[in-house]
Amino acid sequence: MHFRPTIKSLTFDGQTSWTVFKTQFDVVSSTNEWKDFVKASQLVASLRRSAAEVFQGIPADKLTDLTTIEKALESRFGYSHLTQFYRTELKTRRQKPGESLLELAADVERLMSLANAECPLDVQESLADQYFVDAMRDEDTQHSTRLMDTKDLKSSLAYSMKYEAERTVSKTSRHVRSIETEDHMSRERDDKFEFFFNRLEKLLNSSVAG
């Protein structure tokens, strides 16, 4: 007889992502082969703190109804009621000091998925691209990337990272050339000083000998 280990349920207090918890809970319930009645009971037992307050709006005879409980939790803690908040976050997002373009792009993608989950994928990619470029801190990088007229965030990210890398190399090369020029001028000054010093020394020696 095959032994199937029982996986313990989780807890949800409303402070973490409901969507993430729901996904984990579904995996646990599937592994344990819970029926809807048991699943509803386990879900009720998993709620803590503010999440448990949803019971106040659910009739007593519905506390074992899985669909009713999940809808109440989705309404209270799901992303749908935060859509406008995430859209505002997305529109006002700006690259922070020390934040890399890669980190910025990842956060723009995250906000886009939360703010416009109902949009077609191609629309999401196009919007994410615009918000990413708008959020860039460096004006030269932003302007150059915008002129490329890319159609998705990944293309803008690849170009902007390449642009900044090439600009860094260019600055380094100019700095090296500047140092080399200064060294050359310094050597020339040293050579001239040595030349005049030798002439002066010869003149002094000649004067003493005379």
Query: Does 158 score more than 70 pLDDT?
Result: yes
Looking at residue 60, what is its pLDDT?
86
152 pLDDT higher than 80: yes
Task: Outline which parts of the chain fall under CATH 1.10.1200.
Answer: 83-167
User: In the chain, what's the furthest Cα-to-Cα distance?
Assistant: 126
Nearest Cα neighbor of 141 from 122, 105, 165 is 165
Residue 4 has pLDDT above 60, yes or no: no
- pLDDT > 70 fraction of the chain, expressed in percent and rounded: 78
Tell me, what's the pLDDT at 172? 66
Confidence of residue 20 (pLDDT cuts 50, 70, 90): confident
The predicted structure's pLDDT at residue 160: 96
pLDDT (0 to 100) of residue 46: 92
Residue 145's pLDDT is 96
Q: Assess whether pLDDT exceeds 60 at residue 31.
A: yes
Q: What's the CATH fold of domain 83-167? A: 1.10.1200
**Per-residue confidence (pLDDT) for residue 75, from 0 to 100:** 85
- How far lies 202's CA from each of 11, 78, 195, 196, 197, in Å? 94, 93, 11, 10, 9
Q: What is the mean pLDDT of residues 135-143?
A: 96
d(C-alpha 81, C-alpha 39), whole Å? 25
Q: What is the DSSP letter of 64?
A: T
Which residues fall within 8 angstroms of residue 104, CB to CB, at 6 or more apart? 93, 95, 132, 135, 136
User: Quick one: tokens of 133?
Assistant: 């470029």
Between 178 and 154, name the one with better pLDDT.
154
Of residues 21 and 204, the one with the higher pLDDT is: 21
Say what the pLDDT of residue 183 is. 63
Mean pLDDT of 165-189: 69
What is the pTM for the complete model shown?
0.53
Query: What is the rounded average pLDDT for all residues in the chain?
Result: 84
Q: Give me the long-range contacts of 147-152 (CB less than 8 A, separation at least 24).
A: 151/125, 151/126, 152/125, 152/126, 152/128
